Amino acid sequence: MIIALDEAVSVLRKWRDERRLIQVGLISSIRSGCHVIGRIENVDQESLRVDARSINKLGIKTGFTLEFCDAKEFRFEDWREAPPEYSEEFRKIFEAFLFLDLGNCHCEIYAYKTGNELDPA
């Protein structure tokens, strides 16, 4: 579902407040991209900062920063919208997803389920 910037920031603040693990991917093509896993350090109407230092103590260059002014569209989804071959795996691991169209690439933000929500199987 397409959502507005305010709604995207609200979702990201919820995940920040819950201290959820977040996986962020910046995808430029089918073969090129990068991913970071961490927690949301900062989110406001202008930007998002995911910091991996809470799980990886390698210094200040272990994170992801995104300026929302580059975003052309925000899309919020959950496992039910995942491709069929991934839907069951996504249902077990992630609460929801936020996708951003940045024009020349895409940003994918996945919120892991909290420990007490993870399926035992």
* pTM, full prediction: 0.84
Q: What is the DSSP string of 21-36?
A: -EEEEEESSSS-EEEE
Residue 56: pLDDT band (50, 70, 90) is low
Give the CB-side neighbour count of residue 40, counting CA atoms within 13 A.
23
Question: Is the Cα torsion angle 14, 15, 19, 20 positive or negative in sign?
Answer: positive
In the CATH scheme, what is the code of domain 2-114?
A: 2.30.29
Note the pLDDT tens digit of each residue in 64-93.
Answer: 889 999 899 999 998 888 888 888 888 899
